[in-house]
Amino acid sequence: MKKTCTAKGNRGRRNGLARAILLAAAAGLVVTACGADDGSGNTTGTTDDAAGDGAVTDGAGGEGGSALAIGGVLPLSGESAEFGGSMARGMELAAEQINTCGVLDVSLHIEDDGTDEQTAIGAIQKLVNVDDVPAIVGSVASRITLAIADTAIQNQRVLVAPGSSSPVITDYDDDGYLFRTLPSDLDQAPAIAEVAVAREFRQVNVVALNDDYGKGLSQAFSDSFEASGGSVGTVRLIDPKGVDFAADVRAALRDDPDALLLAVFPETGSAVLRALAQQGAIGETPLLMMNGLAVAGFPEQAGVDLDGEVGVRPTSGGPGDDYFTEQFQEKFDTAPGYATSNAYDATMLIALAAAAGEPTGPAIRDHLRDVSAGGTQYTPDQICAALEAAAAGEDVDYTGASSNAELDENGDLATPVFDEWTFEDGTPVRLRVLELGT
């Protein structure tokens, strides 16, 4: 049964969790998103029969404000399900905070993309044709974001990706409707190349997803690492929906590389690491891990010890990070997940752009970059003042939870920052901050 609840309450491109538990968590999101707080901290309400059938969140306040519907196309199931539920909660927190201000009356419409292109296309078509949202937050896997981009662009809907890093997005013919709050792999690749050089790796082989993310990152890393004097040997592009990667792992290890770069997500990553363990490579061949594996508990899920292995991920440390983390923890009784703050910032930016103009796709597009830079700075805890200033025609500069959230002329982050990280007792922890950018 479909639950409907009502929420109260704006370029070109630059040069050990089982899947059942993940699905249960995704279904639980709909309870959180659609429920009503009974005053005791518990949430009540009905849910859809299946996660991702669509949810409209219930917020607080916002009476008298301009109505703004924001869509979400997020992975509540499938390969990237580790991230989608927490991202949707980040959007919910942002909407709740926005709706206390009285400037906008925001509702959220969240759809599950299943980490599947056809499912995602169906999701965005519903958001456009049924829910009529002017702006959408989505998605994680770059291939999913690119699969839904044309629908958004052709219908003049803003699409802000909170977790997609493929360089293809940078040069996409988007008429200015495509943005992201996560750095591009054109920036991330030099960061992981620096880590490889600093550790004196001379040859690095690659295992990466055979999609826009994996192919783009592999090429960008090869360019950066070879420009620094390194060599990239075997590159194995694997099926994002595959389960057996023994042959790929054997090929990647065959010429005895100094390290192996893994550009995968947890589901395929677990299978790759099990294959590496069967080859006796864990602890013998150093690993370089990308952002998709920086997940607490992932080593247990994969059944291997990854303590001491290193990787690179976008820094979640904008000016509003402490406030966001505290508020998220208080509301959901759990820590935010990977790129949750990016989804939160995407929602805040959309709202500010709508306040600065009007709640339509073209107006949000035209104002989105402006509210991210160049004016009076506002952090997330000052969102009401920022919305009021934007609505009054003042120049605002939202500085976010995930980063300073400044968008360049292409809709990419202007000044990306990265962490070098490692696992300690199965938890990703920062080793140092890498301020590179391009």
Crossing angle of the two packed helices 383-391 and 340-356, in degrees rounded to 10 = 30
| Tens of pLDDT, residues 368-410 | 999 999 999 999 999 999 999 999 999 999 999 999 999 999 9
* Geometric angle at alpha carbon 383, from 381 and 387, rounded to 5°: 165
Least confident of 345-354, 388-397, 416-425: 416-425
Orientation angle between helical segments 81-98 and 383-391, nearest 10 degrees: 70
Would you put residue 288 in left (φ > 0), alpha (ψ -120 to 50) or beta?
beta
CA dist 59 and 100 (Å) reads 9
> Tell me: the pLDDT tens digits for 159-202?
999 999 999 999 999 999 999 999 999 999 999 999 999 999 99
Q: In Å, what is the CA distance from 422 to each residue of 174, 199, 367?
A: 36, 14, 38
| pLDDT value of position 435 | 66
Domains, the chain, with CATH or none? 19-184+318-398 (3.40.50.2300), 185-313+418-434 (3.40.50.2300)
Whether the CB-CB separation of 282 and 273 falls below 8 Å is answered with yes
pLDDT higher than threshold 60 for residue 299 = yes
DSSP 141-158: SHHHHHHHHHHHHHTT-E
Give the model's confidence band at 10: pLDDT under 50 very low, under 70 low, under 90 confident, else very high: very low
Structural Rg of the chain based on CA atoms: 21
99 Cβ neighbours under 8 A, 6+ residues apart: 7, 8, 9, 59, 60, 61, 62, 65, 105, 106
Least confident of 43-57, 130-144, 208-222: 43-57
- In this predicted structure, the answer to whether residue 438 has a pLDDT above a threshold of 80 is no
Residue 321 has pLDDT above 60, yes or no: yes
Contact 71, 135 (CB under 8 A): yes
